[in-house]
């Protein structure tokens, strides 16, 4: 079965892709982008629920867009004949299947947290169990193009970053690259309900989510170590990340405020220049000219916004408050995975990702 549109066959495409785990919110974003891709044919969507149902009967925005149906089969069988497999599986599940998928020769973009951390002991601490495939941690490249673009291009296996992690990393990356980021960094991150997944729970049920703010996993969220790892790789020194996530009455979007103290000798102009130079030419990261980042400006798109406010020195240090905003399902999830997929296939990384989203 192919991904042709009803009544209008697609032109021949160069690469074949499978999505494994396609019934969730991240899955539908992967599918939506792949159906419009000029060089990649979505050939198969695998799931353990809604098996046999048309994609459009589950994801209503896809009705009439494809003849594909959800299939149930072992992931290694689903990967046979594919150029790339995008894994939308839960943590701990993804890592169990990766070794067999590797044997098929398919490239892999994994959206779970299973291959983001290099240290299996840290994985055990934050994910609550032994890593299922620690021997393959070294085979994966962390898929943040704004830092690892060249490594991604040369890789076959990508660990796509988490949504909170991407937002924090982009907000703090210029400070890390300049070597200014040291000591404790405090972050508050606000997220929409879609980040909790498609299955309803007491804390995501609309009557208790709407009009409410609540924290969860304060100072122990699983994205903390991957952010610290990335910032150290970028040039940060002895950073200790203190992160408090907050669930908000939004469907899509993440907004972070990160508080860092740099040496007082670092001027406000130098800090702002660092942000400008770090993201110059980046297709999906922008620094608003007349305002600070906003969720509504990036929701529905693969764009991220960053900004910075710089205080006067005090006590030998200067407070820098960095802001970041993105759509948790796109730049924080499926869109970034497609961006990395494009890079490992040797394609323009912006393909199917250039739409600006909606307003308001």
Task: Label the pairing between strands 84-87 and 15-20.
Answer: parallel
Q: Is 163 a catalytic residue?
A: yes
The residue from 163, 228, 231, 297 that is catalytic is 163
Task: Label the pairing between strands 15-20 and 40-46.
Answer: parallel
Q: Report the SS3 class of residue 21.
A: coil
Best CA proximity match to 77, nearest among 65, 66, 85: 85
d(CA 192, CA 189): 10
| Residue 356 φ/ψ, nearest 5 degrees | -85, 0
| Residue 298 φ/ψ, nearest 5 degrees | -120, -10
d(CA 283, CA 285): 6
| Residue 336 φ/ψ, nearest 5 degrees | -65, -35
d(CA 260, CA 195): 26
User: How deeply is 128 buried, as exposed, middle or buried, from its count of CB atoms within 10 A (0-12, 13-18, 19+)?
Assistant: exposed
CB-CB contact of 195 with 250 (8 Å): no
Within a 10 A sphere around the Cβ of 63, how many other Cβ atoms? 12
Best CA proximity match to 41, nearest among 355, 349, 345, 267: 345
Which residue pairs from 266-274 have beta carbons closer than 8 angstroms and sit at least 24 positions apart in sequence? 266/180, 266/318, 268/310, 268/318, 271/174, 271/175, 271/180, 271/308, 271/310, 271/320, 272/308, 272/310, 274/174, 274/175, 274/177, 274/178, 274/180
Residue 124 sits at the vertex; the CA angle it makes with 172 and 202, to the nearest 5 degrees, is 80
Residues belonging to the active site = 163
């Amino acid at each position: 079965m192919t991904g042709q549109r009803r009544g209008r066959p697609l032109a021949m495409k160069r690469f074949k892709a499978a999505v494994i785990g396609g019934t969730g919110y991240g899955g539908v974003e992967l599918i939506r982008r792949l159906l419009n891709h000029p060089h990649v044919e979505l050939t198969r969507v695998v799931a353990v629920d809604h098996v046999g149902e048309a994609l459009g009967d589950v994801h209503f925005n896809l009705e009439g867009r494809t003849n594909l149906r959800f299939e149930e089969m072992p992931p290694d069988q689903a990967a046979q004949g594919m150029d790339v497999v995008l894994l939308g599986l839960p943590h701990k599940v993804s890592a169990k299947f990766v070794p067999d998928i590797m044997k098929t020769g398919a490239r892999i973009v994994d959206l779970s947290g299973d291959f983001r951390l290099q240290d299996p002991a840290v994985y055990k601490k934050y994910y609550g169990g032994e890593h299922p495939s620690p021997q393959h941690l070294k085979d994966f490249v962390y898929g943040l193009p704004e830092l690892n673009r060249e490594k991604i291009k040369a890789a076959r296996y990508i660990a796509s970053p988490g949504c909170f992690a991407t937002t924090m990393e982009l907000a703090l990356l210029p400070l890390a690259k300049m070597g200014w980021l040291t000591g404790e960094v405090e972050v508050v991150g606000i997220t929409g309900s879609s980040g909790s997944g498609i299955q309803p729970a007491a804390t995501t049920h609309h009557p208790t989510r709407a009009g409410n703010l609540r924290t969860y996993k304060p100072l122990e969220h699983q994205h903390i170590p991957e952010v610290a790892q990335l910032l150290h790789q970028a040039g940060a020194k002895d950073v200790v990340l203190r992160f408090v996530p907050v669930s908000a009455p939004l469907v899509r979007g993440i907004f972070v405020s990160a508080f860092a103290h740099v040496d007082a000798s670092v001027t406000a102009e130098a800090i702002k220049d660092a942000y400008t130079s770090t993201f110059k030419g980046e297709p999906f990261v922008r620094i608003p000219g007349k305002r600070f980042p906003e969720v509504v400006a990036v929701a529905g798109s693969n764009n991220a916004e960053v900004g910075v406010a710089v205080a006067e020195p005090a006590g030998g240090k200067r407070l820098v408050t960095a802001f970041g905003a993105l759509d948790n399902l796109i730049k924080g999830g499926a869109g970034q995975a497609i961006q990395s997929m494009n890079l490992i296939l040797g394609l323009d990384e912006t393909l199917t990702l250039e739409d600006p989203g909606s307003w308001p």
